[in-house]
Amino acid sequence: MQGLFSAFARGSARCKILSQSILHRAHCSPFATGPRQDVGTIFELRMYDIKPAKSKEFMELVNRHVHVRMAHSEMVGFWTAELGSMNKAFHIWKYDNFAHRAAVRKALAKDKEWQETLSAILPLLKTQDMEIAYLVPWCELGTPPKEGVYELITYQQKPGGPALWGRAFKAAIDAHVSKNYAKLIGVFHTEYGSLNTVHVLWWHENPDSRAAGRHLAHEDARVVAAVRESVQFLESQRNVLLVPAPFSPLK
């Protein structure tokens, strides 16, 4: 996989052409010299499909007991789907490496309070999906300027990995960042799960500011050109507007 990520790493040098303010907004590091596997940090992305009649009960239960789970490892954020899907909960967890995740899972299995909570939560769910991902080398995890809503865009790219589509994909993201209508929180490339998948998480002040910003972006020549180049490597994409839970670190 190291070869597949090398294009992302080489693409980091292109960040130097951006202004300092754009670099700051994108949390893009021009000093990345290798794939994120070298860093070791992994992210676990979970999507729960909640039984429609149980959504309220699920969120109340999680709100009361999630502190037990958060005591074991770092939660990046927890959201529920507002637009683009229904009765979904999406959450991201951060681990130092795979050994750290294994140790946390082992500890959770021995945590009586959390196991009791799980026993109550699982009957409320229809399905659970999980992927393990790395942040791409040219992005660090961002933080929002204030509370808002989030947009998760999932891109299913053509087989071949970043060596094939990495440069074009990065150029498209950079073009959107340059319009400053949203805050880039993270770009996650899947290591386990659906391969050749990239999840891009954006912060927006509200759904209307997102709509207005997208309208302006679609009229921008740089954005149009970058997207036109990138889309040739795209198989499918979908987005979901997410609302952060009260206990979510990312608001």
Q: Give percent of the chain above pLDDT 70.
A: 84
Cβ atoms of 185 and 28 within 8 Å: the answer is no
72: number of Cβ within 10 Å: 16
Q: Does 3.30.70.260 match the CATH number of domain 2-38+134-244?
A: no
Fold of 42-132: Alpha-Beta Plaits (3.30.70)
Lowest mean pLDDT among 4-18, 51-65, 163-177: 4-18
pLDDT in tens, 65-81: 999 999 999 999 999 99
Which residues in the chain are classed under CATH 3.30.70.100? 2-38+134-244, 42-132
Q: Indicate the helix (H) or strand (E) that contains 216.
A: helix 207-217
Note the pLDDT of residue 37.
52
Q: What's the rounded mean pLDDT across residues 180-188?
A: 94
Note the pLDDT of residue 18.
34
- Scanning the structure block, which residue is given the tokens 């899907």? 85
What is the distance between the alpha carbons of residues 205 and 200, in angstroms, rounded to a whole number?
17
Conformation bin of residue 53: beta by default, left when phi > 0, alpha when psi is -120 to 50:
alpha
Instruction: Give the model's confidence band at 114: pLDDT under 50 very low, under 70 low, under 90 confident, else very high.
Output: very high
pTM of the model: 0.83
Q: Exposed, middle or buried: residue 56 (CB in 10 Å: 0-12, 13-18, 19+)?
A: exposed
